[in-house]
Amino acid sequence: MIVAVDGPTASGKGTIARALAERYRLPHLDTGLLYRAVGRQVLLDGGDPDDPADALAATRFPDTLLADPHLRSEETGGLASRVSIHPVVREALFERQRAFATQPGGAVLDGRDIGTVIAPEAEVKLFVTASVQARAERRWKEMRDRGVEVSLEEIAANLRRRDERDTQRKDAPLRAAPDARVIDTSALDRDEAVAAAIEAVESAL
């Protein structure tokens, strides 16, 4: 069984993907981490994230980079969103994601284009979304708990910028697959969101 979980930043897709992987005992790949590693590697190389050649060179990042806490930062998220525009970067990361998705026994993958490009044959496709306000508040609380001081407005503006870049790009834009089940987590807490996802999986099987 392949489970594809797509959606924008801070929608709850990562939490849902991890919970589903645990429940159905499937391996899980957070594909955003791959794009974040490319973004981080460009920075380490002193390259330009908007230059396709620099971004392509950065796709050969060492696997150890995937464990770097810097990957979680907002700055790296922004860089990831810039390098992910280049078709050569998406192509370079395709095989790795495809191999993960098609391993015997199945897998859960979360990202932006799993149900549309990486695994369009997935048995279960979820599109997890939430209002900008709800997502900004979540991100703000997360950052406050980590001791980072930022305004809610700044976070909301950042999310909008990232959404716009992810939905407007030509290659593999963020959008729900026609056969995806949409889960809006705006008014749901963690457990409710996971319960809604499990219900969606059960009814798709």
Spatial distance between the Cα atoms of 109 and 28, rounded to a whole number of angstroms: 6
Question: Is 11 annotated for ligand binding?
Answer: yes
Least distance from ligand C5P to the Cβ atom of residue 112, Å: 4
Least distance from ligand C5P to the Cβ atom of residue 34, Å: 7
Least distance from ligand C5P to the Cβ atom of residue 31, Å: 4
Sign of the CA dihedral running 16, 126, 192, 81:
positive
Sign of the CA dihedral running 160, 166, 170, 176:
negative
Count the Cβ atoms, other than its own, within 10 Å of residue 138.
Answer: 19
Question: Is 8 annotated for ligand binding?
Answer: yes
Identify which of residues 6 and 26 has a Cβ nearer to ligand C5P in the complex: 6
Identify which of residues 98 and 199 has a Cβ nearer to ligand C5P in the complex: 98
Spatial distance between the Cα atoms of 56 and 190, rounded to a whole number of angstroms: 36
Q: Which helix (H) or strand (E) holds 15?
A: helix 13-23
Which residues would be at the binding site for ligand C5P (CB under 6 A)? Answer: 9, 31-32, 35-36, 77, 80-81, 84, 111-113, 162, 166
Q: Which residues are annotated as a binding site for ATP?
A: 7-15
Q: Which residues are annotated as a binding site?
A: 7-15
